Amino acid sequence: MSDKQNKLWGGRFSESTDEFVQAFTASVNFDQRMYDQDIRGSIAHATMLAEARVLSNDERDAIINGLKEIHAEIEAGEFQWSVALEDVHMNIEARLTDRIGITGKKLHTGRSRNDQVATDIRLWLRDHIDLIDGELTRLMQGLLGLAEREAATIMPGFTHLQTAQPVTFGHHLLAWFEMLRRDRERLADCRKRVNRMPLGSAALAGTTYPINRERTRELLGFDEACYNSLDAVSDRDFAIEFCALAALSMTHLSRMSEELVLWTSAQFNFINLPDRFCTGSSIMPQKKNPDVPELVRGKTGRVNGHLISLLTLMKSQPLAYNKDNQEDKEPLFDAVDTLLGSLRAFADMVPALEPNREVMREAARRGFATATDLADYLVRKGIAFRDAHEIVGKAVAFGVAQKKDLSDMSISELRQFSDQIDEDVFEVLTLEGSVSARNHIGGTAPEQVRAAVARAREALSR
């Protein structure tokens, strides 16, 4: 049999496809990842066609059994994927006809690869959104556990990466949690638009068979059937939306990564990362590198790239389906793999972080972190804030020259700057006093951190 006769669409062709063109246009090497979704879609389609009397029940049963056997073959690694058969859809359909004969050729009645592939991607992405949500939730739970444990651990809070005010480590971890909470909201919102069904749109205009889209919708667990056949086969907004939220979520992970890289350095030494998350250097025997956060930080770039790829892919495409759309899969798949892998690595790593509490505390003590507290103290004694700011600025300059923190100064040293300063000043100059005083919703006080953890836990379990 000649090559052209082998093709499922060979009828109108008079010569075989150029060999390079065949390889160039094929997608099976990457879209075979959707075999499970493709088979589920076909089973639902065949079930509906039989109910609509387009297929007999025997034909339906033969098709469904054949598809299930093919599914098992693929899972066992015994399926022979063929580039000549172009994509996952035609590979599976051709194999079905091999196995069950002419009835296999009836599966594609009232359907096109255009609505088939759009359905497959949505099912695939929906499945993976659920996996991502699981890892994201696991990471968020890990952060809450650590934040609760470290609710009273003091560290410097930074602005401009300069010591600003003391904060609790638990509070810092809850800031990470808030980024992820928004990511999770965006994921759930994206899922709503992913979970709509193109099947039934056929090539572009719908089909002349008496199909029941409501039935396939129900069988496949979609929320709705897409409203317009031209839009349904050509829309890839859902993939763009996913990549946008994935890029933002990776951006959040990259910010956390950057802090972990800084904190595990000898210069900060705030955190010890257990060896199992690190690697060594082949030349410098002393090195222990924070590879996991570094790689997550680096991988953010490729997800940003995938978002731009998909936006550019869709830009200016005329309705309806165009072969361009085959280019949607690799960016989407890689964005999913990258986000899922990064979340998993973080979810494993976060509960294992070991804070060096003494080092963190000492860093806060050394950096004049309670200077604002001294200014607020003077305001309570009746001095205007701007004047208080000036007074404390001078005290800090003195401390820099004398290599003394504010809390290391004697009362007479402090009183050089204002006679409003009394013995009670030392209560506000302590790190514990400083964090405990910020005792309102969203503040850094240990009490607030514990309450925020409890609220977040309850919201996460809903």
> How many residues line the site for ligand ARG (CB under 6 A)?
9
Place of tokens 């075989």: 16
List the interface residues with ligand ARG, window 117-136 (CB under 6 A): 117
What does the per-residue mask of binding to ligand ARG show for 79-108, with x meaning CB under 6 A? --------x---------------------
Q: Which of 300, 332, 330 is nearest to 127 (CA)?
A: 332
Q: For ligand ARG, give the closer residue by CB, 49 or 90.
A: 90
DSSP-derived letter for residue 204 is: T
Q: Which of 116, 162, 79 is nearest to 369 (CA)?
A: 162
Q: How far apart are CB 223 and ligand ARG at their closest, in Å?
A: 23
From 160, 316, 410, 412, active-site residue: 160
Q: For ligand ARG, give the closer residue by CB, 202 or 353.
A: 202
From residue 7, alpha-carbon distances to 17, 26, 247, 287, 382 in Å are: 10, 13, 39, 57, 89
Q: For ligand ARG, give the closer residue by CB, 34 or 43.
A: 34
Binding residue for ligand ARG, selected from 31, 150, 183, 241, defined by CB under 6 A: 31
List the interface residues with ligand ARG, window 343-362 (CB under 6 A): none
Catalytic site includes residue 282: no
Q: How far apart are CB 207 and ligand ARG at their closest, in Å?
A: 15
Burial (CB count <10 Å: 0-12, 13-18, 19+), residue 26? buried
Q: How far apart are CB 134 and ligand ARG at their closest, in Å?
A: 27
CA–CA dist 451, 439 (Å, integer): 11
Contact between 444 and ligand ARG by CB under 6 A: the answer reads no
CA–CA dist 397, 404 (Å, integer): 10
In this structure, are residues 66 and 120 in contact, taking their beta carbons and an 8 Å threshold? no
Contact between 113 and ligand ARG by CB under 6 A: the answer reads yes
Q: Which of 68, 53, 70, 35 is nearest to 106 (CA)?
A: 53
* Residue 51: partners with Cβ closer than 8 Å, 6 or more residues away: 212, 215
* Residue 63 burial (CB count, 10 A): 24
Q: How far apart are CB 116 and ligand ARG at their closest, in Å?
A: 7
Determine the interface stretch with ligand ARG among 63-71, 110-118, 338-346, 361-369 (rule: CB under 6 A). Answer: 110-118
Contact between 326 and ligand ARG by CB under 6 A: the answer reads yes
Q: For ligand ARG, give the closer residue by CB, 87 or 93.
A: 87
Determine the interface stretch with ligand ARG among 43-51, 208-216, 322-330, 443-451 (rule: CB under 6 A). Answer: 322-330
CA–CA dist 456, 42 (Å, integer): 42
Q: How far apart are CB 265 and ligand ARG at their closest, in Å?
A: 46
Contact between 37 and ligand ARG by CB under 6 A: the answer reads no
Catalytic site includes residue 252: no
Contact between 391 and ligand ARG by CB under 6 A: the answer reads no
Instruction: Find the helix or strand (DSSP H, E) in which 215 lies.
Output: helix 213-220
Would you put residue 262 in left (φ > 0), alpha (ψ -120 to 50) or beta?
alpha
Residues making contact with ligand ARG (CB under 6 A): 27, 31, 87, 113-114, 117, 323, 325-326
Active site residues: 160, 281
